[in-house]
Amino acid sequence: MSGYNLSHLKQLEAESIHIIREVAAEFEKPVMLYSVGKDSSVMLHLAHKAFAPSKIPFPLMHVDTQWKFQEMYKFRTLMAEKYGVELLVWINPEGKDISDPFKHGSDKHTQVMKTDGLKQALGHYGFDAAFGGARRDEEKSRAKERVYSFRNEFHQWDPKNQRPELWNLYNAKVNKGESIRVFPLSNWTELDIWLYLLREEIPIVPLYFAKERPVVECDGTLIMVDDDRMPLKEGETPMTKKVRFRTLGCYPLTGAVESEAETLEEIVQEMLLTTTSERQGRVIDHDAAASMEEKKKDGYF
């Protein structure tokens, strides 16, 4: 019997593929939310495997804030071509060309461009299921998140009113207007993601790898000068530092870390030897310990 065992990574892969297929089979109009980050890369790759040799039977959607790194936009196009999948881009028309994290702050920018933008897009297309790449190990409030996370017609998440989830029997029943956020990577950890990227040779945005980049220091965080919208203080000139990004978001809200890691192995090595957690690089998590829970109730992923 010993010959018939699957490694943890292959078990996670099988479980995710099962979830992705289940959604494709049971929902009328699913969509995969694509953030261009490494977890999205893994999720897209799994979707490809789930339906090969057919094409992925649902579109990708990127809720764009217009403030992502340039390299992310390039990578986005590249991936849609590589996997032959339809890519939808949604920019909240109310904030389009107006919202500016430098002027309006991270909270308002995120609320308008991401949270509101996402709700609009789901409503606009009438999607009844949306895949997201969130993992339960990312943040404490996510530990109780279901694989199928039910949202009412206002896209709200009620932590006390989630459906019990047993075995691999997911309940896809929704009424009109209601939807399910689906997290096929729920049981993956940060390390699993890296191991899988390595094993499967999945491409990720080059920003994850250390390279000399122009940065400025804002309140102790290194921010990369990605375009000329970056307001520089009087006499401030960007420094060139060898940095990489542990997570990717809007460039003004994403801190870089100084690093020498130029390969996946070196990134994992660095990650395991450092003692600060992944999300610290994201400005939005910091407010209060339970802030993520509040944002989720409101419809943020």
Which spans of this chain sit near other proteins (rule: CB under 8 A)? 1-2, 4-15, 17-18, 21-22, 24-26, 49-55, 136-137, 140-144, 159-160, 162-169, 171, 173-175, 186-187, 189, 191-192, 195, 198-199, 265-266, 268-269, 272-273, 275-277, 280, 289-290, 293
Element (H, E) at 266: helix 264-273
Q: Compute the distance between CA of residue 31 and CA of residue 125 in angstroms, rounded to an integer.
A: 10
Closest CA to 20 of 223, 182, 172, 177: 182
Closest contact distance (angstroms) between CB of 66 and other proteins is: 30
Closest contact distance (angstroms) between CB of 292 and other proteins is: 10
Cα torsion for 259, 207, 103, 97, to the nearest 10°?
170
Q: Compute the distance between CA of residue 201 and CA of residue 268 in angstroms, rounded to an integer.
A: 15
Residue 232 or 290 with smaller CB distance to other proteins: 290
Closest contact distance (angstroms) between CB of 172 and other proteins is: 8
Q: Which residues, at least 6 apart from 2, have a Cβ–Cβ distance to it below 8 Å?
A: none
Closest contact distance (angstroms) between CB of 159 and other proteins is: 6
Closest contact distance (angstroms) between CB of 51 and other proteins is: 6
Q: Are strands 257-258 and 239-244 parallel, antiparallel or unpaired?
A: antiparallel
Using the Cα atoms of residue 273, residue 279, residue 280 and residue 282 in order, give the sign of their dihedral.
positive
Residue 127 or 170 with smaller CB distance to other proteins: 170
Residue 37 or 184 with smaller CB distance to other proteins: 184
Closest contact distance (angstroms) between CB of 4 and other proteins is: 5
Query: 31: which strand partners?
Result: 130
Closest CA to 131 of 254, 251, 45, 11: 45
Residue 43 or 72 with smaller CB distance to other proteins: 43
Residue 66 or 162 with smaller CB distance to other proteins: 162
Residue 95 or 299 with smaller CB distance to other proteins: 299
Q: What region, left, alpha or beta, does residue 8 occupy, with left being phi > 0 and alpha being psi -120 to 50 degrees?
A: alpha
